[in-house]
Amino acid sequence: MVQVRYFAAAAEAAGRDEEMLVATTLGELRDTLLTRYPALVPVIAKGSFLVDGVVTRDPERALGARVDVLPPFSGG
């Protein structure tokens, strides 16, 4: 299980601030999020992820304890 936290437009699109999900890679998590929350498509397309505090978009990146879903900043 990984703690997924949503910020700003990501939280609005997901309709929540955080939740626990099952995923082992960022790609797996991204696919789960896009299936569960279609409104996240534009946020994820231009935003970024923090995996345990490290910015990444690598779908092969193994997940740790926490992933933050961030919208694009400064007009993105």
Sorted by where each begins, the domain ranges of the chain are 2-70
Q: Which CATH architecture has domain 2-70?
A: Roll (3.10)
Instruction: Report the run of H or E that residue 14 belongs to, with start and end.
Output: helix 9-14
Rounded to whole angstroms, how far apart are CA atoms 50 and 52?
A: 6
Q: Are 66 and 44 in contact (CB under 8 A)?
A: no
- Annotate 18-45 with DSSP letters as a single string: EEEE--SBHHHHHHHHHHH-GGGHHHHH
Question: In the predicted model, is pLDDT for residue 75 greater than 80?
Answer: no
End-to-end CA distance of the chain: give it in Å, rounded: 30
Question: In the predicted model, is pLDDT for residue 60 greater than 60?
Answer: yes
Q: Report the predicted TM-score, pTM, of the whole model to 2 decimal places.
A: 0.92
What percent of the chain has pLDDT above 70?
96
